[in-house]
Amino acid sequence: MNYFVNADDFGLNQYRNEAVVYSFQKGISSKTSLIINSEFTEEAVELSKKYDFFDKVGLHINITEGIPLTVGLKEIRSYCNEDSTFVNTSPRSLLKVFSLSHIKVLRSEIEAQIKKYLDYGFTLPYIDTHNDIIFNLPVWYALEPLLLKYDISVIRGIEPYLFGYYRKSILSYLPLKYYFMMRYFKKKANKTKIIGGGRNINQFVCDMENSRTKRIGDINKLKLIEIIIHPDFDGKKYIDRTNFLKNNNTLIYNTLADTAMKISRFEMNKIECADICSYLY
């Protein structure tokens, strides 16, 4: 079985930047994805050059935190507050999921983020989204033509289980709709390969230990698995915000080293960033 590890949220803040660098230095991450509309984006870009992982940086499309790059989206209250900051609510809220009236405005924002990413000189044709905003139907429609326009080879996709299994949601009745929509886009945007929904380390271990789950069938039949981590620094240690335990409704985050140890329990082949596409064609 082949896998790679993606460090999400590069550029979100100073601590995330420091922790992503650490995850590369320790050989945990295969690649990372960059938030392009943050005040810490420039710092992240420079760090990727300094520590020699510039060619392993993909784009993390962000429509839920910070400020948009485009004016049009700032005026839409379901996405932005009056101070022009994004409304940081669940991307699966009913208003965002079903509102199709803002597709062109969303497309302009997403394209602006893609252009800024490319202007930095990045060439990795891989994108994913912050807070799973790709779950929203308008975002899918906004993004689809840009996949072909910018020759984007790989995108983190979705799988039906992402609704209601780990994430209980009032939208748990939508899985099949989104699954068939994903298949449609996979055929239409035939140059873009969709990686099945990524797993954080807790989900990954659960899948591997059970081998066959009600969500995906036999995990061993998958050609490629993406393990998603969220490196951070809590002032004392480097943690993974997707590696946690619940104690009386309180989240206790485990270290990045613990994430690496959990992955190493299973016999798998870790692939390099440059080889991701070859496992999807």
Domain range summary for the chain, segments of one domain joined by +: 7-202
Angle between helices 137-149 and 103-119 (to 10 degrees): 40
DSSP of 174-233? -HHHHHHHHHHHHHHTTT-EEE---EEHHHHHHHHHHSEETTTEEGGG-SEEEEEE-EEE
Spatial separation of the C-alpha atoms in residues 22 and 260, rounded to whole Å: 12
CB contact at 8 A, 138 and 106: yes
What is the H or E stretch that residue 258 is in?
Answer: helix 256-264
C-alpha distances in Å from residue 181, one per residue of 135, 140, 175, 261 = 11, 9, 10, 36
CB contact at 8 A, 224 and 275: no
Q: Give which of 54, 60, 76, 32 is closest to 256, Cα–Cα.
A: 32
User: Of 148 and 21, which is predicted with more confidence?
Assistant: 21
Q: What is the mean pLDDT of residues 167-175?
A: 44
Asked whether the predicted pLDDT for residue 166 surpasses 60, the reply is no
User: Of 3 and 91, which is predicted with more confidence?
Assistant: 3
3-state secondary structure 59-109: EEECCCCCCCCCHHHHCCCCCECCCCCECCCCCCCHHHHHCCCCHHHHHHH
Q: Give which of 165, 253, 265, 270 is closest to 209, Cα–Cα.
A: 265
Q: What is the mean pLDDT of residues 161-173?
A: 41
Spatial separation of the C-alpha atoms in residues 154 and 226, rounded to whole Å: 12
What pLDDT sits at residue 170?
A: 41
Asked whether the predicted pLDDT for residue 280 surpasses 50, the reply is yes
What pLDDT sits at residue 49?
A: 97
Asked whether the predicted pLDDT for residue 162 surpasses 50, the reply is no
State the pTM of this model: 0.86
What are 189-232's pLDDT values in tens digits? 666 776 765 778 888 888 787 754 444 455 666 778 889 999 99
Q: What is the mean pLDDT of residues 254-261?
A: 94
pLDDT band at 164 (very low <50, low <70, confident <90, very high): very low
Average pLDDT over the chain, rounded to an integer: 81
Asked whether the predicted pLDDT for residue 134 surpasses 80, the reply is no
User: Quick one: what percent of the chain has pLDDT higher than 70?
Assistant: 76
What is the H or E stretch that residue 270 is in?
Answer: strand 269-270
Asked whether the predicted pLDDT for residue 165 surpasses 50, the reply is no
* Whole-number CA gyration radius for the chain: 18
Fold of 7-202: TIM Barrel (3.20.20)
